[in-house]
Amino acid sequence: MAKKTVTVFRGDGIGPEITDAVIRILNAAGADLDYEIYNVGEAEYEAHGALIPEEAFASMERNHVLLKSPITTPVGRGFRSLNVFLRKKYDLYANIRPAKSNHAVKTPFQGVDIVIFRENTEDLYVGVEEQIDQDTIHATKIITRGASRRICRDAFEYARAHGRKKVTCVHKANILKMSDGLFRDVFYEISAGYPDIEADDKIVDNVSMQMVMNPWQFDVMVMPNLYGDMLSDLASGLIGGLGLLPSSNLGENYAMFEAVHGSAPDIAGKGIANPTAFLWSACMMLEYLGQMECAARIRRSVDRVLEEGAFNTPDIGGTATTEEYVNEIIRLL
């Protein structure tokens, strides 16, 4: 059987470093993959006038699977997030972010195992803003029944398929009674079809407190776009940081896999970037493609390296370089 070809965006900041590291590990693990690799992002724009080359779009539309490293997004100016653009363009409506403790990475919160389902195409992230006058800006929040139904259904389907016991809806329906109220109502409509799974809901500010008081109460969580972005970052803090949080972005026809963290330009080129979140995102890609054993081998090797600790990168308490960390994972493979 022919190898599966996937599209790879190397990004900027630490993106190229961790991309090269992850592809080395995938090849060492025997992943049944070929790669079409493209430079994208701010550096590509400055060099060639396009954030994403046309041939990179064509590759994504040919292969339907994208492994995307971090891309710098300007704050308060310039172009909108390419992540948001790609999610909208390819209708990657389900952003799945699993936050699971690794006992080798010491934090005050051991045994956390939360999977966040974030609706990816609506809410304030539609980016519709209007300047009313010199001192007033309006931003539009959009919630639809259709988008709410499919993300809530995916959360319950995931819970059932993975033996999870509870799905929690996160909202602000006490204030946003119509928009978040619709999301909450749809959640309970969908939950009726899954009587074997407990369903509850909580207000987002309460959840923020509960996650650092008692994160073990949460199992699968589903929420609109903005809350998912915030709470998944909070969840990463429970398990040791953004360097350990992977994600998938799934739609009906396309899939994109990326680390949750940004491009970290402050450490770019220093050789100390942690590729774990991006590597685990690649493992989620392997699992999506049915290459379960290859993903499991990589996960086992990473767990051993983290547990031994001698080759951990600085962000998780070690002193190793990216290359030393990657070499040790490959040695164990």
| Options 172, 227, 254, 325, the catalytic residue | 172
Averaged pLDDT score across all residues of the chain: 93
Query: Which position among 106, 177, 188, 205 bears the catalytic label?
Result: 205
Q: What is the pLDDT of residue 1?
A: 58
> Is the pLDDT higher at 138 or at 74?
138
Q: pLDDT by residue (tens digit) across 173-192? A: 999 999 999 999 999 999 99
* pLDDT band at 74; cut points 50, 70, 90: low
Task: Report all structural domains of the chain as residue ranges with CATH numbers, in order of start.
Answer: 1-96+242-333 (3.40.718.10), 108-239 (3.40.718.10)
The pLDDT > 90 percentage for the chain reads 82
- Residue 80: is its pLDDT beyond 70? no
Whole-model pTM: value is 0.91
90 catalytic per annotation: no
Point out the catalytic residue in the list 45, 233, 288, 303: 233
45 is annotated as an active-site residue: no
Q: Given 229, 254, 315, 325, which residue is catalytic?
A: 229
pLDDT one-digit tens code per residue, 4-59: 999 999 988 999 999 999 999 999 999 999 999 999 887 788 888 888 899 999 99
Active site residue 188: no
- Residues with Cβ within 8 Å of residue 326, at least 6 apart in sequence: 21, 24, 25, 275
Active site residue 233: yes
Q: Which of 125, 158, 254, 325 is catalytic?
A: 125
Residue 32 annotated among the catalytic residues of the structure: no
Q: Which residues neighbour 332 within 8 Å (Cβ) at sequence distance 6 or greater?
A: 300, 301, 304, 305
Say which range, 123-127, 217-221, 281-285, has the weakest mean pLDDT.
123-127
Could you report the per-residue pLDDT of 120-165, keeping only the tens digit for each? 999 998 889 999 999 999 999 999 999 999 999 999 999 999 999 9
